[in-house]
Amino acid sequence: MANRRHGKGTLLIIGGAEDPDDNDLRILPHLVKLAGGKRARLLVCAVATEEPSDSLRNYRAVFQKIGVAEVLGVPFDDRTEGQDERVMAQLERATGVYLIGGDQLRITSVLAGTRFAERLRERFQAERLFVAGTSAGAAAMSSTMIIRGDGGTVNRGAVDLAPGLGYLEDSVIDTHFDRRGRIQRVMSAFAQNPGTLGIGIDGDTAIEVRPSGRLTVLGRGVVFIFDGRVTHSNVAQVKEDEPLALIDSKVHVLPEGYGFSLKTRRPIVPKGTRRSGD
Amino acid sequence: MANRRHGKGTLLIIGGAEDPDDNDLRILPHLVKLAGGKRARLLVCAVATEEPSDSLRNYRAVFQKIGVAEVLGVPFDDRTEGQDERVMAQLERATGVYLIGGDQLRITSVLAGTRFAERLRERFQAERLFVAGTSAGAAAMSSTMIIRGDGGTVNRGAVDLAPGLGYLEDSVIDTHFDRRGRIQRVMSAFAQNPGTLGIGIDGDTAIEVRPSGRLTVLGRGVVFIFDGRVTHSNVAQVKEDEPLALIDSKVHVLPEGYGFSLKTRRPIVPKGTRRSGD
């Protein structure tokens, strides 16, 4: 491990629906570029889905069409694969790992604590391995992930949370934000910890998170960022099914090209864009 | 008109689903109280629906059960009723007018510009007549109303707007906010005029708006208030179907008992509630 460096790798967190059959691909070519372009060896993990073979076949085809050196696929039917020597060897060869969609609770229950998960985290942190996730694979990136939410009103009972893989700290990620109105579950989640950022990513839209803590939006839709540092909340005083009060949350709506600093918690406007009032 | 006074009447704007068959009614008894309690003569306008008779029968039954002096009902099948002497006489007798749900564009297309609508506005403004609306009848209260929105991403093409009845100025009201995720269409609407407030009301939840400009939340859910005075927006620079950028919008989530001043644009926390940090 001569090339071990301090600092984390880059993340690409996709809001789902980055349709591999699409003729006008935006997100996946960028994923390939971040994984090393034509020299990329992509390890696609279908851990979140119960029928991984179709997904793996589709992604293999699209990545080969875009042009990579190798597509490695692991179905992750159960935890034994996370200890398997062949799979571990694939992880060592990979220049990028992609967690695809399905059920986020499968990701943590099948993957977390395995040799694979530990080595993946180590390679991300020490060797700056590129890691991407879509849909459930995106939700699992945050330290706390939403595993259920009915989109009802804003209360603690509206969401079930579980520990995520923790690749993006102090945040709750929700996906498919354009298809299903999910503001309620994001706000219910971050109400319980106002230090958390709520990040809602539209389908066919992604955030690239650099080790510096700067994220950039790409894709067709927008990214909502809810900054939960409210001036007033009643969360500690109400029962689980009682509606929450949250005052002075901030919300930013960011399309392609816009960014956000996770350090300063400020949006970044692309150069050349006029600010209102200028 | 000896009792003509300056100042507007009180509004009750309901997010829909205030179920007349419910055994635990919250909103409708409050509506009756605001209309005069046992002496209330309520005029229920079914203008928004194409099949008004069922709705009128249901509301008549529930208001009589709660206890009022009289329930007057107008189906408003077409614009001729808005000129009808019998209907005009009912409007003069009413202590409160209630616009029920259906299609908000029917409300303005059938009602606006009729003698009825003009006299209703006059009685609201000069005689402080109490006016209530639910669902489409609530959406029509704002000066600009949302008549269609697909809940896709945040862009101008995502919503169709039309002039509303204007009982609540400088605001866009959306209803059923708990059932259908409607943040995208509210934000798309107010992006086009950052002086506008976006108000999203859950089902079985309402805001009472006093002539002073103070609103108070009641009911089972919450009210979202989006304050669109953003520090940056790209709305003037992008095409209708391109995603919008909005930076530093504020959002407040307000449950029962909380209020908001339309004058100062600040939330009002109920007395006796601890503020975070106290």
A243 to B220: CB separation less than 8 angstroms, yes or no? yes
B269 to A249: CB separation less than 8 angstroms, yes or no? no
Q: Where does residue A247 rank: exposed (0-12), middle (13-18), buried (19+ CB within 10 A)?
A: buried
The larger pLDDT score, comparing residue A269 to residue A106, is at A269
Query: How does residue A151 score in pLDDT terms, banded at 50, 70 and 90?
Result: low
- Kindly state whether B262 is in contact with chain A, defined as any CB-CB distance less than 8 angstroms: no
List, as one string, the DSSP characters of A61-73: HHHHHH--SEEEE
For residue A53, give the H/E element and its range: helix A52-66
A234 to B255: CB separation less than 8 angstroms, yes or no? yes
pLDDT at A171 over 60: yes
pLDDT for the residue B181: 53
A255 to B276: CB separation less than 8 angstroms, yes or no? no
Among the partner residues A180, A245, A276, nearest to B258 by beta-carbon distance:
A245
pLDDT at A139 over 60: yes
pLDDT for the residue A115: 94
pLDDT for the residue B20: 63
Q: Which of A232, A248, A258 to mutate: most B Cβ within 10 Å?
A: A232
A222 to B152: CB separation less than 8 angstroms, yes or no? no
pLDDT at A162 over 80: yes
The two tokens of residue A133 are 């996730």
Average pLDDT along chain B, 278 residues, taken 10 residues at a time: 58 87 84 97 88 86 94 88 91 96 86 92 95 94 82 74 88 83 78 84 95 95 87 83 88 95 94 56
Among the listed residues B201, B219, B274, B225, the one whose alpha carbon sits nearest the alpha carbon of residue A247: B225
Among the partner residues B181, B248, B276, nearest to A183 by beta-carbon distance:
B181
The two tokens of residue B254 are 């307000």
Among the partner residues A226, A234, A247, nearest to B252 by beta-carbon distance:
A247
* CA Rg value for chain B: 19
pLDDT at A277 over 70: no
- Using one digit for the tens of pLDDT, what is the confidence trace for A8-33? 899 999 998 887 666 778 899 999 99
pLDDT for the residue A4: 38
Contacts of B254 in chain A (CB under 8 A): 245, 247
- Kindly state whether A233 is in contact with chain B, defined as any CB-CB distance less than 8 angstroms: yes
Q: How far apart are CA B11 and CA B266, in angstroms?
A: 19
Minimum CA–CA partner of A194 in chain B: B276
A230 to B181: CB separation less than 8 angstroms, yes or no? no
The pTM (predicted TM-score) of the whole model is 0.86
Q: How far apart are CA B180 and CA B201, in angstroms?
A: 11
B253 to A245: CB separation less than 8 angstroms, yes or no? yes
**Residues with Cβ within 8 Å of residue A67, at least 6 apart in sequence:** A32, A37, A38
Contacts of A220 in chain B (CB under 8 A): 153, 243
Minimum CA–CA partner of A247 in chain B: B252
- Kindly state whether A239 is in contact with chain B, defined as any CB-CB distance less than 8 angstroms: no
pLDDT for the residue B254: 96
ipTM of the complex as predicted: 0.81
- Using one digit for the tens of pLDDT, what is the confidence trace for B129-178? 999 999 999 999 998 888 877 666 777 777 788 888 999 988 999 998 87
Among the partner residues A154, A250, A269, nearest to B232 by beta-carbon distance:
A269
The two tokens of residue A90 are 């694939």
B253 to A249: CB separation less than 8 angstroms, yes or no? yes
- Using one digit for the tens of pLDDT, what is the confidence trace for B109-123? 888 889 999 999 999
pLDDT for the residue B277: 38
pLDDT for the residue A2: 36
Distance in Å, alpha carbon of B136 to nearest chain A alpha carbon: 20
Q: What's at A246, amino acid-wise? A: L
List, as one string, the DSSP characters of B153-207: SSSGGGEEEEE---SB-SEEEE--TTTS--HHHHHHHHHT-TTSEEEEE-TTEEE
- The answer to whether A195 and A222 are in contact (CB under 8 A) is no
* CA Rg value for chain A: 19
